[in-house]
Amino acid sequence: MSTAAPERTPRTTPRGPWRRLTSAARAAARPVYQWIAAGSLSSSAVGICVSALALTILGSMMVLSASSVEQISKAQSPYALFARQVGYALVGIVAMFAASRVPLRWWKSRTLIFWLMGGTIALLLLVLSPLGVEVYGNRNWLALGPLQFQPSEIGKFALVLWAAWGLAKTPQVAVSVRAALLPSILGFLATFALVMAGGDAGTGIVFALIYAGALWFARAPMKIFRWSAILGVAAAALIVVASPHRIQRVIGWLVPSRCGASDACYQSNAGLAALASGSWWGEGLGESRQKYNYLPEAHNDYIFAILGEELGFIGSLVVIALFTVIALSLARVILRSSDRFVRIAAGCMLAWYIGQAFVNIGMVTGLLPVIGIPLPFISYGGTSLMMSLFAAGFAMSLTRTPTHPALELSALEEPERTSRLEN
């Protein structure tokens, strides 16, 4: 004799503290989500423009402060690098406003995207030729007569357009790994491999972040991210093991007490000392002590340390707040736009700016090991600054796109997409 199993009553309450915590987080996020999703895209353009300009002005001031002493010690003008940075900034600002007026259909042009990606690959190949210039062990500069620039900075923007175009035109991205990766991964692998061949691991990380952002906002299957994380960790370990200098940096990051004045982690210690001496309000603009040839690359990769020393914790928060404004502005474009290409491209820009800023600031604060990567808009560098401003203009142009009504708040209730759970 068999008896029917009693019918189970479905659970209506959260299971355990994790579910309760998740529900509380979603409830707290609703007002923020509503504010982002209900805003106008014109305000996003203003936010991107004002933040980019403010960061550029602040960066130019910090380049003057951080580089003047080193220039004097070389018997050169203390205003030399500052004057160059201002010149790059003016060109970049003109390019930003010009790019902001480009129609969206031009950015989607297959001819433009293929020529830009092909030109980028050609330039990256030239970097590996005798025309390439090696700086601090990284071969990432190209010298064409009096002109010297970094093709990898152009490659970041080329990858944004390539990934957005490739994923936007494929309807089965959410349910097929093959559809998600082809043809978008071809451009990524080509540019990423050439950048890594030059030894520029920092820029390679930014390329990976841009492509990961494209896949994420295209709703690619989650199995891609799981396998990518495994392969990424394995590849990072091989890259570190292949270079004794990188091994010393990672050991110094993990065990700071083993660092000495001549070790690879000397730079990170000097950066932390600069931040610590800044306290709340800083030593005052121009009053840094670490810039007196104690901190290498003070005007470039480690400019955030000088900024923290001179402007303090409050000044550092201002920089983070400006990047937050850019992130929220791009998030509004992603939520409000009805164009798939625009959403993916905005996601790539979000991964580019915020990912690169996070890696740089994490490196300076000791959260991450030392990775040669500039802080967007602020670090010294002509190609980086001009391309960052030009890309900001591109992001502004994305706000002139058809929109759909503000999303319902119920979207927060079920954030996990069915396609990802199934794959």
Q: Show the 3-state SS of the chain.
A: CCCCCCCCCCCCCCCHHHHHHHHHHHHHHHHHHHHHHHCCHHHHHHHHHHHHHHHHHHHHHHHHHHHHHHHHHCCCCCCHHHHHHHHHHHHHHHHHHHHHCCCHHHHCCHHHHHHHHHHHHHHHHHHCCCCEEEECCEEEEEEECCEEECHHHHHHHHHHHHHHHHHHCCCCCCCCHHHHHCCHHHHHHHHHHHHHHCCCHHHHHHHHHHHHHHHHHCCCCHHHHHHHHHHHHHHHHHHHHCCHHHHHHHHHHHCHHHCCCCCCCHHHHHHHHHHHHHCCCCCCCCCCCCCCCCCCCCCCCCHHHHHHHHHHHHHHHHHHHHHHHHHHHHHHHHHHECCHHHHHHHHHHHHHHHHHHHHHHHHHHCCCCCCCCCCCCCCCCHHHHHHHHHHHHHHHHCCCCCECCCCCHHHHCCCCCHHHHHC
Residue 423's pLDDT band, with cuts at 50, 70 and 90, is very low
Supply the pLDDT for residue 4: 52
- Residues 241-269 have pLDDT tens digits of 777 777 777 777 777 666 655 556 777 88
Question: Which has more confidence, 299 or 55?
Answer: 55
Q: pLDDT, tens digit, for every residue of 384-420?
A: 999 999 999 999 999 988 776 555 444 444 444 444 4
Domain boundaries, the chain: 40-401
Residue 414 has a pLDDT of 42
pLDDT value of residue 269: 80
pLDDT 10s digits, 231-245: 888 888 887 777 777
**Could you tell me which residue, 293 or 43, shows the higher pLDDT?**
43
pTM metric for this prediction: 0.88
Instruction: Give pLDDT tens digits for 99-125.
Output: 999 999 999 999 999 999 999 999 999
